Amino acid sequence: MSPVTALLVGAAAPAPAVASWRPSRNLLTRGKLRYKIGTDIKDIKNRINEVSERRGRYELHVSLTPNMEKIFKNMLRQFGKEKYHNINEATWGEAQLINELKEFFQDKSY
């Protein structure tokens, strides 16, 4: 094909506008991709923070010398709310607290 025919047909080289459009399209595509990656990273960070907050809510501290009277009183207060609402003021021993728990759970079936 002669240079004159190629110039008239436009097959010799791409138009200058199309050639300058491709790099800007690549930059735009890269920018969109980077924006999406950035938002994905932010979402992941938010999820990690939520999980760490939830983990802190269910943290359990175990004592090597538990106060069993306090535990039994707390159980009675939680299970029998109206009857044992002031159980912390009572001066019951461990044996009496265990007997109260046994009586409370005697007719319950879980």
pLDDT in tens, 66-92: 888 888 888 888 887 778 777 777 788
- Burial of 92 (C-beta count, 10 Å sphere; 0-12/13-18/19+): middle
Residue 32 pLDDT class (50, 70, 90 cuts): confident
pLDDT computed for residue 8 by the predictor: 54
Phi, psi of 92 (to 5 degrees): -90, 150
Q: Does pLDDT of 13 surpass 60?
A: no
Q: Evaluate whether residue 39 is within a structural domain.
A: yes
Q: Evaluate whether residue 3 is within a structural domain.
A: no
Same domain for 52 and 72: no
Q: Please, which residues have CB within 8 angstroms of residue 92's CB and are 6 or more apart in sequence? A: 69, 73, 100
Contact 45, 39 (CB under 8 A): no
Residue range of the domain that includes 26: 12-57
Q: Evaluate whether residue 6 is within a structural domain.
A: no
Q: Evaluate whether residue 62 is within a structural domain.
A: no
What does the pLDDT look like over 42-73, one tens digit per residue? 999 999 999 888 887 777 777 888 888 888 88
Same domain for 88 and 53: no
Give the total number of structural domains in the chain: 2
Same domain for 100 and 75: yes
Same domain for 47 and 19: yes
